């Protein structure tokens, strides 16, 4: 599981990053809001730990812009601001959880486990679109111009993830976590098979959009 830690307290970054790595997580660390937003938009992470007060761009603005650009990655605010109003504001901006400093590492781990237990993307009735593609999750209907086809449930969940994160390289671990869930045992070859199925669907509707393999990392819809 890949975690993005956006925190300007370097001492906290060192200790928290080390503790997370000891738990088996891959951790990317950055110390200001603008750099954090760049990493959110350019790299697929499984979870974002976001400080509320950051130099350059505060955490609320980072989260607001990330959500506005279609990022659906779970976010836990880490902050010394503990007022009820600020907690409500953070959650309304799109945070999945809110933990105040100082906190016990065991509590953070419990909250991470809680987020990981959530199921994959839910089927939605709203239309998803990117470039020449249109996808209706409630009908599993993919269309491009006058051509259309029906996707299987798993194909639809996989395409939904890519459509919500276009032009982002999604690591294999992220895809497996979001689509199959954290407790499902699945061979890597199964993911490759579904990528092959989706590429075949894109060709069937004559789409110019491509699922590109990023060697050693994962896949990108572009």
pLDDT in tens, the chain (222 residues): 788 999 999 999 999 999 998 888 888 899 999 989 988 877 667 899 999 889 989 999 999 988 887 788 899 999 888 788 878 888 888 889 999 888 999 999 999 888 877 655 433 446 888 899 999 887 889 999 899 999 988 898 899 989 988 888 898 888 887 787 765 667 768 888 999 999 999 999 999 999 999 988 889 998
Q: Is residue 30 part of a domain?
A: yes
96 shares a domain with 9: yes
Of residues 184, 169, 177, 219, the one with CA closest to residue 25: 177
C-alpha 52: how far from chain center: 19
Give residue 203's pLDDT: 93
The values of phi and psi at residue 221, to 5°, are -95, 120
Q: Is residue 39 part of a domain?
A: yes
Q: Is residue 166 part of a domain?
A: yes
Q: How many domains is the chain built from?
A: 2
- The Cα–Cα gap between 193 and 186 comes to 12
Q: Is residue 121 part of a domain?
A: no
Helical pair 188-204 and 153-164, crossing angle rounded to 10 deg: 80
Q: Is residue 123 part of a domain?
A: no
- The Cα–Cα gap between 42 and 36 comes to 10
197 shares a domain with 144: yes
Residues 55 and 32 sit within 8 Å (Cβ to Cβ): yes
DSSP state of 171: E
The reported pTM is 0.55
Domain that holds residue 190: 128-221
- The Cα–Cα gap between 128 and 124 comes to 9
Please list, in sequence order, all residues whose beta carbon lies within 8 angstroms of the beta carbon of residue 98, skipping any fewer than 6 positions away. 76, 77, 79, 87, 90, 91
């Amino acid at each position: 599981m890949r975690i993005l830690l956006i925190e300007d307290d370097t001492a906290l970054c060192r200790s928290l990053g080390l503790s997370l790595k000891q738990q088996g997580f891959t951790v990317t660390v950055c110390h200001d809001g603008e750099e954090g937003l760049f990493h959110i938009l350019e790299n697929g992470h499984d979870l974002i730990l976001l400080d509320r007060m950051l130099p350059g761009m505060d955490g609320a603005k980072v989260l607001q812009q990330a959500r506005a650009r279609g990022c659906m990655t779970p976010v836990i605010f880490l902050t010394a601001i503990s007022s009820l109003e600020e907690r409500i504001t953070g959650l309304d901006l799109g945070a999945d959880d809110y933990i105040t400093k100082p906190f016990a590492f065991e509590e953070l781990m419990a909250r991470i486990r809680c987020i990981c237990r959530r199921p994959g993307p839910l089927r939605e009735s709203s239309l998803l679109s990117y470039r020449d593609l249109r996808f209706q999750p409630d009908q599993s209907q993919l269309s491009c111009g006058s051509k259309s086809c029906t996707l299987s449930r798993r194909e639809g969940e996989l395409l939904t993830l890519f459509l919500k994160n276009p032009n982002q390289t999604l690591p294999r671990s992220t895809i497996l976590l979001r689509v199959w869930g954290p407790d499902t045992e699945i061979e890597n070859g199964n993911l490759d098979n579904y990528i092959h199925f989706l590429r075949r669907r894109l060709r069937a509707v004559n789409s110019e959009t491509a699922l590109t393999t990023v060697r050693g990392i994962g896949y990108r819809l572009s």
